[in-house]
Amino acid sequence: MFKSLIFMVLKAVLFDFNGVIINDEPIHEEILEQLLLEENIKVKPQEFREHCLGRSDRACLTNLLIRQGRVVPEAYLQQLLNRKAEAYRQKIQTLEPLPIYRGVKDIIDKIIVAELKMAVVSGAIRSEVEFVLEKAGLIQHFPVIVAGDDITVSKPEPDGYLLAIEQLNQIHPDLDLKPDECLVIEDTFAGIEAAKKAGIPVVGVAHTYPFHMLQRLANWCVDYLWELELDRVRRVYQ
C-alpha cells in the first residue's frame, strides 16, 4: 500500500469531490447525455469516460462538442453549464439519502482529530459542490472550495490544487502551507496527475477505476476510504 517517501509534516488534506465524496458519476453521465441529446448530439459511454472523468464540466462539454464539429462560443457553453447545474440540483434534491461514500465522515473525523486543514478541489461548478456539502452536513469542514468556475483550466492541470493551497494560506497566515505538506485524495487518472504536477502526494481511492490501475500512479492506494490509515500516512511525512 505504501511507497517509500520522505516529506515534511502533513498539514492539510485536499479532497476531490465527484467520485471521492459523492458517488454521482452516473448522475452526471445521465444528465450530460440528455443535455447533449437536446442539442442533437449522441455520445457513446466510452466518450464520457475518456473526456469527462476527472475533468471539469466546462472541459468535458467543450471536448464533446468539438468532437462533434460544433463551434463552442462562451455564451452557448455557459448556457449549457447552467442547464446542467439546474438538472443536477433537481436530481440531487430527489435523493434520500445522498450517495455519499461510506467512510467520508469517518476520514473527516480523523482529520479533525489530527488538527489538519481541509479543502475541496473539484471540476464541478461551485453551486453543485456547495449544494451537496450543505445537504450532507459537511460544508462547515471545508473553508476552502475550489470549483470548476474558479479556474480556467481543468485537471490534469495542477491549478486547482495550487489555488487551494494559496487560499488556505490566506485564511491561515501562520500556516505557511506548501504542496509537499498536503495530501490529496483522488479517484481518477486526471486528478492524480493534477496532484502530482502540483507536487502533492496523493491517495488513489478505487471508487472509479480498479485498485491495480491507480496503484501504478498514486503514492498510496486504497479500495475504500475507511481503509486509509491517516496515522501511518502522517508518519511517512514526519
Could you tell me if 233 and 170 lie in one domain? yes
Could you tell me if 167 and 211 lie in one domain? yes
Q: Can you list the pairs that 173-178 forms with residues at least 24 positions away whose Cβ atoms lie under 8 Å? A: 175/11, 175/12, 175/117, 177/11, 177/12, 177/117, 178/8
Could you tell me if 136 and 160 lie in one domain? yes
Is the per-residue pLDDT at 135 higher than 90? yes
Q: Can you list the pairs that 39-47 forms with residues at least 24 positions away whose Cβ atoms lie under 8 Å? A: 39/65, 39/70, 39/80, 41/65, 41/68, 41/70
Amino acid identity of 220?
W
Is the per-residue pLDDT at 3 higher than 50? no
Could you tell me if 187 and 75 lie in one domain? no
Higher pLDDT, 1 or 136: 136
CATH number, domain of 220, equals 3.40.50.1000
Is the per-residue pLDDT at 178 higher than 50? yes
Is the per-residue pLDDT at 2 higher than 60? no
Averaged over 49-70, what is the pLDDT?
A: 91
Could you tell me if 191 and 133 lie in one domain? yes
Rounded (5°) CA angle 203-209-210: 90
Structural domain includes residue 4: no
pLDDT (0 to 100) of residue 110: 96
pLDDT (0 to 100) of residue 49: 85
pLDDT (0 to 100) of residue 90: 96
Structural domain includes residue 122: yes
Could you tell me if 78 and 178 lie in one domain? no
As a whole number, the mean pLDDT across the chain is: 94
Could you tell me if 168 and 87 lie in one domain? no
> 13 phi and psi, to 5 degrees?
-120, 125
How confident is residue 46, by pLDDT bands cut at 50, 70 and 90? confident
Structural domain includes residue 149: yes
